[in-house]
Each structure stands twice: as structure tokens, then as C-alpha cells.
Structure 1
């Protein structure tokens, strides 16, 4: 299977699970179901129900502080999308379009650039991060 399709499946699975607990959930769910409906119409209704169940599991896991379930859901949906793309590679363009709608930076090959600038004076301190940051001062 083409490495780009594997990467697309991984990105799409992660995006779907990440957006399950956000305002963009219905839009991404409807888009993913539409892809399945096009590629495998007989499985689309089942996929829609499974996405809703996964969302309920994710919300409960987040409330319980269960990070493992979220990782498992990401892997599960990445795998499902990878298998779909292996069977129906022609739906890749539609899947990319859906991802671009919810995250314009998700386009394949898009570069993400973070530029930060800070100035501190006196005894001031500056802490910057492009993502997670944990600071322990003693």
C-alpha cells in the first residue's frame, strides 16, 4: 500500500477521534460516513453507529482521565480508514477534502511553521512552546 495512503489514514483516524469531543464532530462524522457510503454503501450505516459509540467511549474516557482509550480509538479508526483506502484508494481525494474542511493545514505536504518572539527584561522570564510545555521551578 502506498505510504501516502497509510499516512492519510493515520492522520484521518487521529483527526476523527480528536474531533469527537468538539463542535466539529457532526461535520467530520458526516464526512467520514459519506466516504464510506461512496466506497461501501452496505457498511455506511454500521460505521455511523460505530462512530457514535466511539464518541461516547471517548467522552467517558476523558471524564475518567483515561488516556489509553483515546489512543486505542485513534489506532482503531486509523486502521479502519487504512483498510478502506486499501480497498478503495479512489476515495483518498474525498477524505483529504474532508480533512481540509475541518483543518485547512491538514492538506498533504502542508508545512507548519511556528514563529515566536519574546523579550524579557530585568528578572523577567519567557517560556515559549509550539505545543505542550511543563515547567518545574524550585
Structure 2
């Protein structure tokens, strides 16, 4: 998978989960369903159920940002698979990401990623976030 495709899938997932339980959710949900609908009615139906379930989790959570962080990786994978099968969907997803980011409040536009790495007893930490590390 290309870095461009991975970056777009990550941006798409970040926009989707950031929009959950906000005023822009319905519009975001509709845009994601249009993308999955291009791949067929079965994928659209599955995505619709998953979006609704995940948004309900975020809405009911006492710590919604923790739930959003947990949902980021699965939605990145879902979108990456979709984009690898439908190259024309890349432009549609990029437009949706830009639209969602523009409508979200400032603090919701960029997902916060936190990483803590600790080495003990002469240990070594080799870590990366949002990329590849080859050793």
C-alpha cells in the first residue's frame, strides 16, 4: 500500500471518528456511506451498521475521545481496503475529509495522538507513530 493511500485512509478515519457525536455527524455519515455504496450494497449496509454502532459508543461514553482513539485504527483499515479497490473513491474521500475538517470545531479538527515509551533496566525503545520503522 502506498504512503499516499495510507495517509488518506488515516485522514479519512480521523475525520470520521472526530465527527461522531457532533453536529456534523449526519453529513459525515452520509458521505462515508456514499463511498461504501460505490463498492456495492452489501458493503454499504455493513458500513452503515458499523458507523451507527460506533457513533452510539462515542455518544454514550464518559470519555468519548478514548473511544474515538480506539476506533481510529479499525476505520483506517476499512478505508484503506476500500480505497485500494476503488481508486476513484480517493478523490471523494479527500473532499469529504476537507469538508468535515472545515466544519468541525477547532479542537476537533486534528486528532490528538499520544504515545508514551518507557525503557527499564537497560532496555531500548524503538517507536514510531504514523509511519514505518525499519530496523
Common fold: TM-score over 0.5: yes
1:1-138 matched pairs, under 5 angstroms: 1-61=1-61, 64-65=62-63, 67-104=65-102
Q: TM-score, normalised by structure 1?
A: 0.68
Whether contact under 8 Å (2:15, 2:101) holds in the other structure is no
Partners of 2:64 and 2:15 in 1: CA distance: 18
Partners of 2:44 and 2:3 in 1: CA distance: 25
Aligned to 1:89, the other structure's residue is in SS state coil
- Aligned positions, number: 104
Match of 1:125 in 2: none
Match of 2:128 in 1: none
Partners of 2:65 and 2:98 in 1: CA distance: 26
Q: Which runs of 5+ in 2 are unaligned?
A: 104-111, 113-135
Partners of 2:37 and 2:75 in 1: CA distance: 16
| Residue-by-residue CA offset, 1:25-69 (whole Å, 9 max, x unaligned) | 0001000000000123321012111101000111222xx226543
What is the Cα-based RMSD across aligned positions, in Å? 2.0
Partners of 1:93 and 1:67 in 2: CA distance: 28
Whether contact under 8 Å (2:16, 2:28) holds in the other structure is yes
Alpha-carbon shift at residue 104 of structure 1 (Å): 4.5
Q: Which runs of 5+ in 1 are unaligned?
A: 106-131, 133-138
Q: TM-score, normalised by structure 2?
A: 0.69
Alpha-carbon shift at residue 12 of structure 1 (Å): 0.6
CA separation of 1:34 and 1:66: change in aligned 2, threshold 3 A: closer
